[in-house]
A = this chain, B = another copy of it.
Amino acid sequence: GVIQESIKSGKIGSVIGATNGVLGVLKEDLFDISAEKPETIEALKQTPAAAIGSCRYKLKSLEESKADFERVLDVFGAHNIRYFFYAGGNDSMDTADKVNKLATDAGYELVCMGIPKTVDNDLACTDHCPGYPSVAKYVATCAAEAGRDTEALYTTDTCTILEVMGRNAGWIAAATGLAHRCPEDAPHLVYLPEAAFSFDKLVSDVKEVLKELGRVFIVAGEGLKDENGEYVTADKGAFGKDSFGHVQLGGVAEMLKAMIEKEVGIKARFNKLGTNQ
């Protein structure tokens, strides 16, 4: 990995980690990764999630987040940091790009490198991102296994919905198709966020599969949108209109389940893999 190669390169004194991404830089919450044992660094390749932490902190434009960007360069200067590797998805790549521009403008010598790392596989100019092949294998296995369960029980519990990640990109949902080797195999229906979703179409799709197979296994990306590009559901949590215990519908799978039970008249259930993906 990049940490091991950096240590080996001889051009870099020490590899500094920032706890929780750019937040760690802003707070000067840094530590010496190169002081960790080699086996600890090697183990990172197999460790789920980001070992040094992640964040949901998005830097805005250089003008709007001026103080933040200047703080980043100040911290880099104080520690004589000359290479900036930033791992993540689109927002992280954007941060790396902006830091690069600012450093150039300020005449601060810095090499900025974005490291693609997102399960969603939605980074421009990449064929596949690290993280995607493992999640693809995982969700395909989930579809195959839960599909068998639906098949075993199909005299009564005839519909299973598997909700997978992907607010805007359908790569993960599409990967469940790898579980499908013959018409009987799950999944029978896959809905991607890229295609406009219609409840009427869902109901007719489900009826058709039921007619043919007597059961239906559906995969839905979490970010399905209607023909106007609006999410078909939004997680309103405790902030919905109703009093305690009567919140609004949460995710896509609940919505589809309710719709199918109402309009098709069969029992449906859902598995929501969430961060287990």
In the assembled complex, A50 has its CB within 8 A of some CB on chain B: yes
- The answer to the question of A133 belonging to the interface, with a C-beta cut-off of 8 Å to chain B, is no
The digit string for A243-259, where 1 denotes a CB below 8 A from any CB of B, is 01111111000110111
**B residues in contact with A262, CB < 8 Å:** 237-238, 244
Indicate if A48 sits at the interface (CB-CB under 8 A): yes
How long is the Cα–Cα vector from A113 to B130 in the complex, in angstroms?
Answer: 50
Number of copies: 2
Interface residues of A in 240-277 (CB under 8 A from B): 242, 244-250, 254-255, 257-259, 261-262, 267-276
Are A238 and B250 touching (Cβ within 8 A)?
Answer: no
Alpha-carbon distance A112/B145, docked complex (angstroms): 30
B276 & A56 in contact (Cβ 8 Å cutoff): no
Chain B residues positioned under 8 Å from A156 (CB to CB): 55-57
**7 A-B pairs whose Cβ atoms sit less than 8 Å apart in the complex:** A23-B155, A142-B276, A160-B275, A247-B249, A271-B274, A273-B273, A273-B276
